[in-house]
Amino acid sequence: MSSPQLLRKRASAPTSAGTLPANTTDTADTIDAVVPAPTRGAADSACAPARGTASDDLDRAAHAAVAAWTGGLSPASMVLAWLDWAMHLTVAPGKQFDLATEALVAPAMQADGMPPAARHTPPDPRFAAAEWEAWPFRLYRDAFLQAQQWWAHASTGIPGVEAHHEELVRFWARQWLDACTPGNFFATNPLAQKALIDSGGGIAIKGAQHWLEDFADMTSRLRGGRPVHPPAWRPGHEVACTRGRVIWRNELCELLQYEPATSQVTREPVLIVPSWIMKYYILDLQPNDSLVKYLVDEGHTVFMVSWRNPGAADRDLALDDYLKRGLLAALFEVHARCGEAVHATGYCLGGTLLAIAAAALARDGKADLLRTVTLLAAQTDFSEPGELGLFIDASELAALDALMWQQGYLDGSQMAATFQLLNARDLIWSRMMSEHMLGRRSKANDLMAWNADTTRMPYRMHSEYLTKLFLNNDLAEGRYCVEGQPVALPDIDTPAFVVGTERDHVSPWPSVYRLHLFTHNALTFVLTSGGHNAGIVSEPGHPGRHYRCATREPDAPYRSRHEFFEQTPTVDGSWWPCWSAWLRAHSTGQVSARRPDPALERAPGRYVLES
């Protein structure tokens, strides 16, 4: 019996949801047969797991006590950045003179009726309304814009400041300025004052109601409960409603297979592995913007991994568990049921895990399990992590690690707060002004409801992910280990389809593009409009969408990302048809439609419903 068949035999019976026991052997032993463990003495020292001591626990407890007050942020990291900036500024008299001159000249120009430095920068949409031209509001606006530009100059270009510290100073200066914009205060906001008068005080009542509702929801989430005002988009009803069944389950994930919509399907099935930082139905929202339904309608057999939402008892789940008991277990199950190589697809962190799996399978002579590899907004080289890198240094990770160690997990609301900080102007302050000051509720949609349906990250897994991948960049540098031996991205020979998004703050597209440097196989790269989520959920017919697509043939010379962007023509519309055509081109024909076994319950399953 082949290894995939053996896995199917052992794993087909459903198990109850719960904590993964440390001595579970059935699925793990089967996977070990496919990804054999090498002699431990041959492993690189970097692959050896770290061991904690009583002193380590004491240090973590102290860090956790501080991190609980700072939301997981390291005050030491912030202080070091400001000290670095201030100390180098004190020995930069030329920079001091320029800043002093700017601080003196700009108010004089403003007093003469001349616009401030904003004249030389793109217009700020926060002050686009005509009401900001009236006195005294234009004074508030101009003073703010002047301060904003002064700090932009003051926080950059100081000789000797370490690059990461300069980015932190610039970031936190921007946060404080955005918090102090005159639009955030009723006394200095002409729009709020006009709206209050025009509504006869009605917006004040509505704004107060919205604030109370948001406060109740936030309090409920902090206590580990559900929102007091749940969204109208429910998995299995309004979203995640593509017909299918849960065909396999273990304690970590479920495997969904969707009902075919055509009599013939492509021979090789599609397996989608989303990130466990999100609920899987980001790719199966409403029927009109569901990537799953689109693929099914295009004639593909589609499988989806649905991750279980872990709790404190799952603190010791490792990244290796997500690889072996999650991705690889699902891959072998799909291969056993269909008898074909698989079009494996990973989104975000699921794509990073897929790259690790593909490298491990190639290393161990099992690459024939994969027909193609598709990575959606997924990083494999973390040397350019974008603004998320602001929260990734040794001090920040020590604070976050201690907080997770104490809780047993990283809560979804804590993670969401970090992402909100990266775009605080739109996600915090503009929303606060619109909903609490002007009484206008943002119209809910399926993507917003999904974004509020947060998940948790097990302590050990997330600590390994942040340290090994983000901080140390072990995967790109050949130090990341599977079964005690390092894996290498250049081992992957499978054709790849890689998607980056233009405004991605989680996986910046230049970072995603760097996979070109680590593979010699055929690689098709797509750069699509939108951000990390909206760029992937880009259904045909969505207005304003476009993408660029180019294929690097095997062993072709490297082309920089700047050359790619300048030389690749823009195509209007969704990138989904391009991907579907690519999948068909890399398939070996069609077979009769495959229907899921009615062994377990209907999709979306039970794990996606757990809070």
Question: Tens digits of per-residue pLDDT, 277-293?
Answer: 889 999 999 999 999 99
Task: Find, among 105, 106, 49, 20, the residue nearest to 315 by Cα.
Answer: 20
Distance CA 371, CA 341 (A): 5
> Of 253 and 453, which is predicted with more confidence?
253
* pLDDT at residue 444, rounded to an integer: 72
Query: What is the CATH classification number for the domain harbouring 387?
Result: 3.40.50.1820
Residues 154 and 256 in one domain: no
Together in a domain, 507 and 383: yes
Q: Are residues 123 and 256 both part of a single domain?
A: no
133, 163, 180 — which closes off a domain? Answer: 180
Task: Please check whether residue 212 lies inside any domain of the structure.
Answer: no
User: Using one digit for the tens of pLDDT, what is the confidence trace for 411-431?
Assistant: 777 776 676 677 777 767 787
Range 265-278 average pLDDT: 96
Residue 274 and residue 132 share a domain: no
Q: SS3 of 215, please?
A: helix
Of 48-57, 68-77, 445-454, which has the strongest mean pLDDT? 445-454
Q: What mean pLDDT is reported for the chain?
A: 86
> Does residue 341 sit within a domain?
yes
Task: Judge if 147 and 265 occupy the same domain.
Answer: no
Residues 407, 494, single domain; the answer is yes
Q: Provide the edge-to-edge strand list for the sheet that holds 496-501.
A: 244-249, 253-258, 302-307, 270-273, 342-347, 370-376, 496-501, 523-528, 546-552, 570-572
The strand pairing partners of 302, in sequence order, are 270
d(CA 473, CA 478): 9
| Predicted pLDDT of residue 574 | 98
For residue 337, pLDDT beyond 90: yes
Is residue 442 assigned to a domain? no
Residue 533 in contact with residue 447, Cβ under 8 Å?
yes
More confident residue, 54 or 150: 150
Question: Is residue 174 located within the same domain as residue 249?
Answer: no
Domain end point (choices 158, 180, 202): 180
What average pLDDT does range 493-515 have in this prediction?
95
**Averaged pLDDT, 402-416:** 79
**pLDDT value, residue 121:** 59
- Alpha helix segments (H runs only) across 155-279: 163-179, 190-198, 202-222
Task: Using alpha carbons, select from 309, 159, 163, 293 the residue that is nearest to residue 226.
Answer: 309
CA atoms of 451 and 454, how far apart (whole Å) = 7
Q: Give the pair of three-digit tokens for residue 411.
A: 């809560």
CA distance 417 to 320: 27
**What DSSP string describes 109-167?**
HHHTT---GGGGSPPPGGG-SGGGGSTTHHHHHHHHHHHHHHHHHHTS--TT--HHHHH
What is the 3 state secondary structure string of 363-374?
A: HCCCHHHEEEEE
Amino acid 541: pLDDT: 93
Task: Tell whether 338 and 476 lie within a shared domain.
Answer: yes
Q: What is the mean pLDDT of residues 159-171?
A: 93
Do 274 and 363 share a domain, yes or no? yes
User: Both 263 and 406 in a single domain?
Assistant: yes
Please say which residue of 136, 159, 180 terminates a domain: 180
CB 254 within 8 A of CB 306: yes
In a domain, 211, yes or no: no
Residue 77's domain spans which residues? 71-180
Q: Which two tokens stand for residue 18?
A: 């719960």
Domain assignment present for 77:
yes
Helix, strand, coil content of the chain in percent (nearest 5):
50, 10, 35
pLDDT of residue 96: 95
Q: Using pLDDT thresholds of 50, 70 and 90, give the confidence band for residue 26.
A: very low
**Better pLDDT: 583 or 598:** 583
Radius of gyration of the CA atoms of the chain, in A: 26
- Residue 599's pLDDT is 74
Q: Is 241 a catalytic residue?
A: no
Of the residues 47, 348, 549, 578, only one is catalytic, namely 348
Which tokens sit at 570? 């823009």
Cβ-in-10-Å burial (0-12, 13-18, 19+) of 478 comes to middle
Residue 463 clears pLDDT 80, i.e. is over it: yes
| Within a domain: 251 | yes
493 and 345 fall within a common domain: yes
Average pLDDT over residues 473-486: 95
Residue positions counted in the chain: 611
Domain count, the chain: 2
Q: Which token pair is 511?
A: 């970072």
Structure tokens at 344: 């494996």
d(CA 125, CA 106): 21
Backbone phi, psi, residue 548, to 5°: -120, 140
Both tokens assigned to 468:
């090994």
Measured distance CA(91)–CA(100) in Å, rounded: 15
Asked if the structure places residue 126 within a domain, the reply is yes
Are 154 and 279 in the same domain?
Answer: no
Q: Label residue 221 by pLDDT band (50, 70, 90).
A: low
- Signed CA dihedral, 65, 66, 69, 70: sign only: negative
Confidence of residue 47 (pLDDT cuts 50, 70, 90): low
Per-residue pLDDT band for 25 (boundaries 50, 70, 90) equals very low
pLDDT, position 65: 77
In a domain, 527, yes or no: yes
What type of residue is 496?
A
Q: Which of 393-402, 416-425, 509-518 has the highest mean pLDDT?
A: 509-518
